[in-house]
A and B are shown apart, each in its own frame.
Chain A
């Protein structure tokens, strides 16, 4: 199966560990992710103003690039890209008038966008197109004894028009971890916001959030937290240094992408995990569990 693929900016630098492991896992599962030739920034955050259609043009252009390839589905791993692309698409589909105006802004495009591309998150492809049964058959190194707290944050589950699962109690990541042989941990903070872009201006707030979220996971016996957003990953992993300075009773904890756990279980070598990009090293935990 071939799928058009949108990486987004952060997967090409700070989150190479997310991209490399995702592409490896997809390949092992028979999905060829074909990167768009000429993608541009998704816009990062969805524009909420009623009159701000100009800001919807960047995400929609990526959907036009998908159409140019003759494809009607665009897959992305980054939760923020996914959310912004999907909501812009929803807005285009919801109002013919808005869509016409967006197309007017894109006068340089040879073809108008018709709202005919579906935006998919990697987890949707995993659950709905590949299927958990097919994944189970491919697992060569089960994540035995690894207790994983799955963290969805905001972008996979809110708002309704972008949600891939239930907003208050999503299960897709837990189901995936179970299929990979790991042990999902039930905890209170899996959809609580990490503080997002406040990390630039107010890292001390992020430190509090990291303390709360990782603390809740730890209290339920989690070994690690699995994420699907490079901003959540930065806040929960790299801001652990600031967290320790403010909260002396904080226990550091490795944070990984769900795709890295997939890559391990599907037989990937350490090179696709790019563990050098983590702040709190997952190496000792994974080695201790016999997974490296």
Chain B
């Protein structure tokens, strides 16, 4: 992926918004890559967790909010537990989902889930996905 870094993006306020929503210091990350190494979803992500953090440091709002990766994270907390700098990466990714959801941009259309799936899938999964994917 090619990205263009610009002073405008860095100063756009996106970085501080993400940090505030997550109550985390993004700048502590020194790109060791441990979060992506242990992430069970990294193989399916267009942007792996360590790159998400780097993009967020640089204010790359569109690249992050349009990515599939922010919706693939299931908050399993493996990255948080292993980060040598104590950065809670899962909270940072949740904050990016929240920026979308608070603008009513849902990721899941609950009404499109089939009746058969609604019967077969346990409520714990249905409610979990609605909590994570809908506003």
Contacts and interface: CB of A to CB of B under 8 A. Distances in A.
B94 A14 contact: no
Contacts of B75: 45-46, 48, 196
A133 interface: no
Nearest to A235: B125
Nearest to B91: A48
B93 to A, nearest CB: 9
A221 interface: no
B124 A48 contact: no
A271 interface: no
B51 to A, nearest CB: 20
Contact of B129 (A48, A80, A191, A200): A200
Interface string A103-114: 000000000000
Given A49-B95, A158-B76, A160-B81, A200 B44 contact: no
Nearest to B113: A200
Given A159-B77, A205-B41, A200 B120 contact: no
B108 to A, nearest CB: 6
Nearest to B124: A10
B124 A230 contact: yes
Given A193-B40, A197-B74, A48 B123 contact: no
B117 A48 contact: no
Contacts, number: 117
A18 to B, nearest CB: 11
A108 B82 CA distance: 41
A192 B78 CA distance: 8
Interface in A36-57: 41, 43-52
Contact of A199 (B20, B77, B125): B125
Contacts of B76: 154, 158, 193, 196
Nearest to B118: A200
B26 interface: no
Interface residues of B, number: 38
Interface string A195-207: 1111111100100
Q: Is the interface of A mostly helix, strand, loop or mixed?
A: loop
Contact of B121 (A45, A48, A50, A199): A199
B132 interface: yes
A167 B81 contact: yes
A3 interface: no
Nearest to A12: B123
A47 B117 CA distance: 25
A50 B22 contact: yes
A197 B81 contact: no
Interface of A: 8-10, 13-15, 41, 43-52, 78, 80, 154, 158-160, 167, 191-193, 195-202, 205, 209, 230-231, 234, 238
Given A49-B22, A158-B76, A202-B72, 8 more contacts: A45-B131, A48-B75, A49-B95, A50-B22, A52-B98, A159-B80, A196-B74, A209-B40
